[in-house]
């Protein structure tokens, strides 16, 4: 399922994905820690907050806090 979601995001032109999850699971799909790129989520800068560039390399962005869509608050 994770691979299908990644491919669907790539197909619609998404450049960068973020996930907060298990460090033993998500790296197999290409996710890497987000902190070295300057991103954080709710003060989470540890290895569980990861990103995955979908366009080859991570785009040059200024970093900063990542805010999830409010719909995720209900999950």
The total of other beta-carbon atoms located within 10 Å of residue 40's CB is 15
Q: Which residues, including other chains, have CB under 8 Å from residue 3's CB and lie 6 or more apart?
A: 29
pTM: 0.79
Would residue 40 count as lying in a domain?
yes
Q: Which domain holds residue 19?
A: 15-57+64-74
For strand 32-33 and strand 49-53, is the pairing parallel, antiparallel, or unpaired? antiparallel
Residue scoring higher pLDDT (33 or 46): 33
Indicate the burial class of 51 (C-beta count within 10 angstroms; 0-12, 13-18, 19 or more).
buried
Domain count along the chain: 1
Would residue 42 count as lying in a domain?
yes
Q: Of the ranges 28-37, 42-51, 61-70, which is most confident?
A: 28-37
16-33: per-residue pLDDT in tens? 899 989 999 999 999 999
């Amino acid at each position: 399922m994770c691979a299908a979601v990644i491919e669907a995001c790539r197909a619609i032109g998404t450049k960068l994905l973020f996930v907060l999850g298990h460090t033993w699971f998500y790296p197999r799909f290409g996710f890497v820690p987000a902190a070295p790129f300057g991103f954080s989520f709710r003060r989470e800068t540890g290895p569980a907050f990861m990103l995955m560039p979908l366009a080859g390399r991570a785009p040059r962005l200024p970093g900063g806090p990542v805010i999830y869509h409010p719909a995720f608050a209900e999950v």
